[in-house]
């Protein structure tokens, strides 16, 4: 009885802590809006990279997989290929299996949950291949959108029991049990499938149809505490694989993005979107010149009604925000272009995975100062680097 009660309590805590995190984030952003925002901004596109349709990740923390797979689809277009809408949940499911192994190996002292990083998609692509969205939706129990709370709770409770090692020695069966939980919710991954009249395995589909080399991609961040132009482990909870990223100066972060876009490459973006000046509804994010606590009620109500003056973000500001948890790894999205407002200020055009319910039908505009301040990391093709940056990073 006590064991059952403990498992129930653990399961409840896990659901509250991880599975609803994305829903809570989306709901918290609903108040960040102004009445006539779209009328007050006049955007003119400078660069707009071709990309596939807007998706909806539903009640799951799989933004990292949605954004990275969207990025890969644009990479296919850049290569001159017809893009395939890739299964985001195929990447996530395989990452969950690997994450479970890592969790047990680390005696539970590592993040589990739904979250992940861009390199997880590349690592899963390298190891497991890829499948079309039409072949593996992950909707295995009657829902039309992802809903991962129950699955995540059961999986993590099972792994917590494994880590306690009640037999005194781990059996080989725990992994079968854990994988069975995942597959009962998401469905078993296909060993082979038909696509456009030809049979593929996930590995052959990745090689012959997608055609992307996972080794062509790097991640970049910017933190004062590490040497520039070297690699470091980005210490955020969702980096459960402990992969490394390159470090560049704060202004070089946006220089790298600009060079990529102007060379026809899109960029996967990870960062913090919990700021009061990030509006999903209005599709605008910026860094205000005045602190929120110093604003009048009228100024707050007018935040997204047209362009506003911004603070100049420094390396010290960025590092402090990362250190004090005001910049966290909330969300992953896909930068697909560059635009200017009526004052000439530049914004990145960003593709989200929350459906098409906002003012810009699933896209939003983030200023360069916001990106400098709130980015945790970006992923891009090494070919998108300028010769000077490639030389600095030695790639």
Q: Which two tokens stand for residue 59?
A: 């009640």
Q: Which pLDDT value is given to residue 20?
A: 60
pLDDT at 7: 40
Helix (H, G, I), strand (E, B) or coil at 285: strand
Please tell me the predicted confidence (pLDDT) of residue 18.
45
Question: Model confidence over 234-289: pLDDT tens digits?
Answer: 999 999 999 999 999 999 999 999 999 999 999 999 999 999 999 999 999 999 99
Helix or strand holding residue 151 (H, E): helix 149-163
Closest listed residue to residue 364, CA positions, set 337, 388, 384: 337
pLDDT reported for residue 13: 38
Burial class (CB in 10 A: 0-12, 13-18, 19+), 66: buried
pLDDT of residue 98: 97
pTM greater than 0.85: yes
- Give the pLDDT score at 19: 45
Answer left, alpha or beta for residue 196, where phi above 0 means left and psi between -120 and 50 means alpha: left
Tell me the CA distances in angstroms from 177 to 60, 140, 145, 181, 286, one per residue in order: 22, 18, 25, 6, 46
Q: In the chain, which stretches have pLDDT less than 50? A: 1-19
Q: State residue 113's pLDDT score.
A: 86
Query: What confidence tens digit (pLDDT) does each residue in 99-128 have?
Result: 999 999 999 999 888 999 999 999 999 999
């Amino acid at each position: 009885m006590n064991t059952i009660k403990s498992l129930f309590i653990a399961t409840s805590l896990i659901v509250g802590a991880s599975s609803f995190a994305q829903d809570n984030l989306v709901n918290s952003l609903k108040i960040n809006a102004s009445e006539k925002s779209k009328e007050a901004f006049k955007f003119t596109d400078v660069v707009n990279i071709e990309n596939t349709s807007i998706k909806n990740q539903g009640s799951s923390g799989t933004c990292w997989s949605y954004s990275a797979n969207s990025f890969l689809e644009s990479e296919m277009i850049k290569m001159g290929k017809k893009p395939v809408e890739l299964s985001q949940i195929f990447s996530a499911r395989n990452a969950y299996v690997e994450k479970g192994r890592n969790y047990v190996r680390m005696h539970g002292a590592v993040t589990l949950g739904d979250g992940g990083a861009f390199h997880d998609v590349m690592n899963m692509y390298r190891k497991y291949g890829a499948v079309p969205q039409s072949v593996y939706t992950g909707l295995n129990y009657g829902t039309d959108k992802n809903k991962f709370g129950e699955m995540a709770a059961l999986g993590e409770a099972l792994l917590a029991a494994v880590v306690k090692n009640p037999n005194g020695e781990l059996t080989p069966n725990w992994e079968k049990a854990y994988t069975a939980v995942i597959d009962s919710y998401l469905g078993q991954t296909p060993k082979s499938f038909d696509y456009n009249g030809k049979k593929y395995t996930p590995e052959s589909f990745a090689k012959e149809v997608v055609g992307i080399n996972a080794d062509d991609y790097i991640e970049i961040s910017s933190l004062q505490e590490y040497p520039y132009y070297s690699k470091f482990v980005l210490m955020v909870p969702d980096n459960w694989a402990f992969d490394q990223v390159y470090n560049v100066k704060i202004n070089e972060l946006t220089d790298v993005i600009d060079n990529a876009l102007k060379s026809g490459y899109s960029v996967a973006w990870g960062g913090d979107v919990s700021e009061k000046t990030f509006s999903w509804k209005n599709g605008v994010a910026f860094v205000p010149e005045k602190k929120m606590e110093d604003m009048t009620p009228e100024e707050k109500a007018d935040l997204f009604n047209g362009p506003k003056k911004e603070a100049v973000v420094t390396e010290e500001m960025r590092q402090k925000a990362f250190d004090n948890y005001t910049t966290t790894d909330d969300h992953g999205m896909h930068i697909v272009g560059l635009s200017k407002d009526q004052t000439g200020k530049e914004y990145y055009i960003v593709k989200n995975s929350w459906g098409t319910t906002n003012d810009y039908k699933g896209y939003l505009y983030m200023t360069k100062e916001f990106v400098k301040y709130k980015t945790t990391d970006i992923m891009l093709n090494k070919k998108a680097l300028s010769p000077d940056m490639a030389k600095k990073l030695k790639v």
